[in-house]
Chains A and B, each alone.
Chain A
């Protein structure tokens, strides 16, 4: 498809389980972002990739969170030993590289993966 694709759309996990969330960005988009969005709040930055390089992971809330993008396209966000506070929508977004003022460089978002930890 032409847009950002995320799977699964919904995931229910028992506390302590590991989960993996997948993001397939728009073809040709070099930059990829992961955000966490709690109900009624704005997206909170988790991590950013440029191609396969993870350039910023400052937003990952703990070492239970891990993201990868081994071939510079599909990315996976993994959460180990899930906790109830991990319940949120996880948004993936991609953009063309080149964050200059000569192009908008807007983010294109997927529909998100809603994680519920029981």
Chain B
């Protein structure tokens, strides 16, 4: 079964606007971590933001914030004030419990328009 679902293969956003990238996950564990990574065309994977399942507040890192809705099992990434350099693939990932495996979603390609 797919553990991470990203339903938006591609998204467009105007420069300086905010955009939300969707992520839903499937787990029966109570303890897990959720991650977002950015992969520009150059190929490197860049860690953006982390949310622990027990964190009561939504994570924020600069222009990135995570809209965590535990009951809905969703962990959407919000990018505020989009920049041209934000154009990239974005992957949602999950690490379950005390296990070590990271499972990645299929990704969303974000294109920021000038």
Give me the interface of A with B, judged by CB distance under 8 Å.
31, 33, 35, 40-45, 48, 50, 55-56, 89, 91, 93, 95, 97, 99-101, 104-109, 111-112
Contacts and interface: CB of A to CB of B under 8 A. Distances in A.
Contacts of B53: 101
A104 B102 CA distance: 12
B104 A42 contact: yes
B114 interface: no
B5 to A, nearest CB: 11
Interface size range of chain B in the complex: 20 to 34
B91 A43 contact: yes
Contacts of A100: 31, 98
Q: Considering residues B47, B53, B100, B103, which has the most beta carbons from chain A within 10 angstroms of its beta carbon?
A: B100
B106 A48 contact: no
Interface string B41-56: 0011101001011100
Contacts of B33: 99, 101, 104-105
A99 B50 contact: no
11 contacts: A33-B101, A35-B104, A41-B106, A44-B104, A93-B45, A93-B102, A97-B100, A99-B99, A100-B98, A104-B50, A106-B47
A107 B94 CA distance: 11
B54 A33 contact: no
A91 B52 contact: no
A55 B95 CA distance: 15
B91 A42 contact: yes
Contacts of B50: 104, 106
A35 to B, nearest CB: 8
Given A55-B100, A99-B99, A109 B45 contact: yes
B101 A56 contact: yes
